[in-house]
Amino acid sequence: MTIAIGADHAGFELKEDLRRRLVSDGHEVIDYGTDSTEDVDYPDFAFAVAQDVASGKCERGVLVCSTGVGMSIAANKVPGIRAAVGTVPDEVQLIREHNDANVLTLGAKYLEARDAEKLVDIFLRTGFDGGRHARRIEKIERMEAVAASNSR
């Protein structure tokens, strides 16, 4: 699977752990940075990852900041992105099964590397259930289209 990954300064170390793990698991990883703990702005990295997922260049995205919330907010501004913060395994499973999330955001302040790796594994191997959930995703897509046409 091709995965886009990115982090701000607060998520740098966890991103690096996750990147190494994903590569060792055989995934192709496109790393959008950051490359250090030097202060940077999370929207820049969220946008780069979200753009590649939305365009189909990458199948999924993983973003890391202090809480995961800022990255989620920024990534969700890109049409076609369904980014969600993941904190526990069953939540991550449900964001894939019910919401067809294509970007997982994580809070480095609240997760140990081993726990984050488990969440990413669940995110990557869990499919979308479709059915009644597909109807809801279609509504979200229509809302995005309306919002895009209203902003022109």
Q: pLDDT tens digits for the chain (152 residues)?
A: 999 999 999 999 999 999 999 999 999 999 999 999 999 999 999 999 999 999 999 999 999 999 999 999 999 999 999 999 999 999 999 999 999 999 999 999 999 999 999 999 999 999 999 999 999 999 999 998 898 888 77
* pLDDT score for 148: 83
Cβ count within 10 A of residue 144: 15
What pLDDT score was predicted for residue 133? 94
Q: What is the pLDDT of residue 14?
A: 98
pLDDT at 18: 98
* Beta-ladder partners of 104: 62, 84
**Cα separations (Å) of 119 from 48, 89, 131?**
22, 6, 24
Q: Which residues contact 145 (CB under 8 A, 6 or more apart)?
A: 79
- Extents of the domains making up the chain: 2-150
Instruction: DSSP letter for 11, please.
Output: G
Active site residues: 65, 98
Q: Supply φ then ψ for residue 130, to 5 degrees.
A: 70, -140
24 vs 112: CA distance, rounded Å: 19
Domain 2-150 has CATH 3.40.1400.10: yes
Structure tokens at 38: 């030097």
Whether 70 and 42 have beta carbons less than 8 Å apart is answered as: yes
- Other Cβ atoms less than 10 A from the Cβ of 100: the count is 17
